Amino acid sequence: MSNDARMPEKVLYVEDDPDIRSIAELALRDVGGFTACLCESGAEALAVIDDFQPDLVLLDVMMPGMDGPQTLKALQSRPQGLPVPVVFMTARLQPAEIEEYLALGAIGVIPKPFDPMTLADEIRRLAAAGAS
C-alpha cells in the first residue's frame, strides 16, 4: 500500500479537441479507473483546479489561446504553485522539445496518438518513475 499512496487517483486533462476529450475520458475513467476532470482550455483548468485537486495534470501541448507550456506556467505561478506532477501530450515528438518540457518541470511526455487502452498505464508508469 505504501507505494500506492503516491500513485495518482485524480487526473486533470486539458485538451482542446472534443473528440479526444471523449475518448480520453473513457481511457482515464473506464479503462484506467482514475477520477478524471477534462478541461477544454488552460483557462478552464485554472478555474477548476482548486476545486478538483488533481494528483496529476496532463496537458496537450498545442492548443489555441494558452498552449500547454503557457498553461503550465500559469498553473505554477499561482500563489500555491503546482504541487503535483505534470505530463505533456504531444503529436510532435522531437528530442529538443522533450528536453524543453522536462525543463519546465514536467515528469514526462506522452506521444499522440495515444492508445486508449494503455494511456492510464503509461501515466502510472511515468508517475512511478517520477516519484522514485
Partner 1 sequence: MLNSPLQDPLADRLHALKQRFVERLKVELVSLEAYGQKLEQQDVELESMRNCVQRLHQLAGSAGTFGFPEVGELARELEKRLKTEVEHWPDNAGAGHPGAEACTGLAVQFRALVARMKTESAEPVPDRDQAATTVIDEASLHGQQVRLLVVSDGLSELDDLVKELSRYGFNVLVLGLSDDRFSETNRAALLDNVATAICWHGMVERVARQVSGHHADAWPYLMPLVCIGETGQFEQRYRVASAGARAFFPEPVDVPELVERVETFVEEKTSRVRGRVMIIDDDRELAEHYSLVLAAAGIEPRVVNDPAQLLEALHGFEPDLVLMDIELGHYSGVTLAGMIRFHARWLSLPIIYLSAEDDLESQLQALSGGADEFLVKPISDDYLIRSVQMRCQRARQLSELMNRDSLTRLLKHSIIKQEVERERLRSMRGDYPSCAVLLDIDHFKQVNDTWGHAQGDVVIRALANLLRNRLRESDAIGRYGGEEFLVVLSNCDAPAAEHLVGRILQNFSELEFAVGEQAFQVTFSAGIALINQFAEGDQAIEAADRALYARKRAGRNGVMIYDQSMAGRSLSPADGF
Nearer to partner 1, 27 or 72 (CB): 27
DSSP three-state, residue 59? strand
Detail the DSSP E strand segments found in 1-132.
10-14, 35-39, 56-60, 86-90, 108-111
Point out which span in 5-13, 80-88, 90-98, 124-132 binds partner 1 (CB under 8 A): 90-98
> Does residue 91 belong to the site contacting partner 1 (CB under 8 A)?
yes
SS3 percent helix, strand, coil of the chain, rounded to 5, is: 45, 20, 35
- Please state the closest distance from residue 85 (CB atom) to partner 1, in A: 22
Nearer to partner 1, 82 or 98 (CB): 98
Order across the sheet with 86-90: list the strands: 35-39, 10-14, 56-60, 86-90, 108-111
Residue 37 C-alpha cell reads as 476532470
> Does residue 23 belong to the site contacting partner 1 (CB under 8 A)?
yes
Applying CB under 8 A, among 4, 50, 92, 103 the residue interacting with partner 1 is 92
Question: Which residues contact partner 1 by CB under 8 A?
Answer: 17-20, 22-23, 26, 29-31, 62, 90-92, 112-116
